[in-house]
Amino acid sequence: MSEKDTVTDVKLINSVLDQCRTLRLGLRDGQRVYVVPVHYGYQEENGHYTLYFHGRPKGRRYELLKATHYAGFEIDDDDIFEPGQDNMACTYSASYRSVIGEGKVTLVMDPQEKQAAFGPLMQHYTGQTEFKYDPKSLAYVQVYRLDVTEMSCRIHQAE
């Protein structure tokens, strides 16, 4: 990976986030790391990113985020392995797009804020913005807000 693959244009970063489907959270668990895939939505304002995801209000992810309030993340797609020359292993390459970062995680408790957080998440997967919300479901589900503190985007086209 070279510096020429680094993307800083917000519109291009948003395009990668729009087209990717799965965010992988990396959570600190003592001396170990716990990685879990989640569906996500995001908001971008003047280059500052907020990611939203949800889950059950129990389990390992919930306990780790409640304890540490911090996560690393990785999002990628279009990983295409390209053959090398003369079947030489070190000449193979890959094309890809990825976003990697970390940030502070807040457990969203307010029902109206939970509902607002579902907007970007649902729009990401459905393209729609208008939904009905069951108050009992909102009361049960745990919504997380990840305020990104560091993030990098890379797009590499194999040559």
pTM exceeds cut of 0.85: yes
20 alpha-carbon distance from chain centroid: 9
Whether 107 is covered by a domain: the verdict is yes
Distance CA 50, CA 104 (A): 10
Distance CA 96, CA 109 (A): 36
Contact 107, 54 (CB under 8 A): no
Amino acid at 55: G
Whether 10 is covered by a domain: the verdict is yes
- Section 44-52 average pLDDT: 97
| φ and ψ of 22, to 5 deg | -130, 135
In the chain, the number of structural domains is 1
Whether 42 is covered by a domain: the verdict is yes
Whether 51 is covered by a domain: the verdict is yes
Looking at every residue in the chain, the average pLDDT score rounds to: 92
Q: Cβ contacts of residue 159 below 8 Å, gap of 6+?
A: 93
Residue 138 sits in a domain whose CATH number is: 2.30.110.10
Residues facing residue 156 across a β-bridge: 96
Whether 144 is covered by a domain: the verdict is yes
Whether 1 is covered by a domain: the verdict is no
**pLDDT digit string, tens, across residues 67-118:** 999 999 999 986 777 777 777 778 888 888 999 999 999 999 999 999 999 9
Amino acid at 21: R
pLDDT at 82: 76
In terms of DSSP H, where are the helices of 20-149? 60-68, 111-126, 135-140
The domain of 62 spans 6-156
